[in-house]
Copies of this chain bind each other. A is one copy, B any other.
Amino acid sequence: MASPLDICVVGSVALDDVETPAGKADNAVGGAAVYFSLSASYFTKVRLVGVAGRDFPRQTIALLRKRKVDLEGLDITSGSTFRWRGSYLKDLNQAETLQTELNVFETFQPKLPESYRDAKIVFLANINPELQLDVLRQVRSPRFVAMDTMNLWIDIARPTLEKALKKVDLICINEGEARQLSGESQLPLAAQRILKMGPGAVVIKRGEYGANLFTKDRTFFAQPAYPLEIVRDPTGAGDSFAGGLIGSLAKERSFSDAALKRALVWGSVMGSFVVEQFSIGGTARIPPAKLRRRFADFARFTRL
Residues of A within 8 A of B (CB): 21, 92, 185-189, 206, 208-210, 212, 214, 220-224, 227-231, 258, 261-262, 265, 299, 301-304
Contact = CB atoms under 8 A, between A and B. Distances in A.
Nearest to A223: B302
Given A186-B231, A206-B209, A229-B186, A222 B220 contact: no
A210 B21 CA distance: 26
Contacts of A229: 186, 188-189
B212 A227 contact: yes
Contacts of A185: 21, 92
B304 A222 contact: no
17 contacts: A21-B185, A92-B185, A186-B228, A186-B230, A187-B227, A209-B209, A212-B227, A220-B227, A222-B224, A222-B227, A222-B301, A222-B302, A223-B302, A258-B304, A265-B304, A302-B302, A302-B303
A13 B143 CA distance: 59
Contact of A224 (B210, B214, B303): B210
A222 B262 CA distance: 17
